[in-house]
Amino acid sequence: MNFEHQRRPQRASRMDVGAYALSKLAGAGALLMLLTAFFWLLPLGKNELLAALGVSGIPLEHIVYGYAMTATLVADAITSLLRIRSRASQAALYAACGLLFFGGFMAGSSPELWLRAATGALLLLGMRCGKELFSKPTLWVPFFALIVPLVCVVLY
């Protein structure tokens, strides 16, 4: 049998994988910038709001780059495995991953569980917006991936 006429599955090149990683980092950098600006303008302060969520000991960078980034990678893997193409279905999957990751895997007591889970769903929807925003290779992608997080850490 001659199998040459059959189409072989396309493998991702190194450039595609690098662009994917850079766009994920840019989305996380944009989310970190928004959260830093929010906490900077908030009259209560960061510690009081994080204490209300039950995660007062976790730095903001760990929440974004540790928990939200991991949940986003899992949501992307599920999206590509199930071949979900609809934006609404992808957003629902991102929100569900945010609920599970932030509600189930973060430390804290149960009274704040649903508030923390809802916050996680909102964070992952923000990461989904970052995925859409930074899907095209522009000069904004390395700026938000590399420079913005450094500025946020230095300023706050």
Q: What is the pLDDT of residues 68-103, one digit of tens each?
A: 999 999 999 999 999 988 999 999 999 999 988 888
2 pLDDT higher than 60? no
Tell the residue number behind the tokens 């001659």, with chain if given.
2
Helix H, strand E, coil C: the string for the chain is CCCCCCCCCCCCCHHHHHHHHHHHHHHHHHHHHHHHHHHHHCCCCHHHHHHHHCCCCCCHHHHHHHHHHHHHHHHHHHHHHHCCCCHHHHHHHHHHHHHHHHHHHCCCCHHHHHHHHHHHHHHHHHHHHHHHHCCCCCCHHHHHHHHHHHHHHHHC
Q: What is the pLDDT of residues 11-70, one digit of tens each?
A: 667 777 888 889 999 999 999 999 888 888 877 776 777 777 767 777 888 888 988 999
- Cα angle value 100/106/111 (rounded, 5°): 85
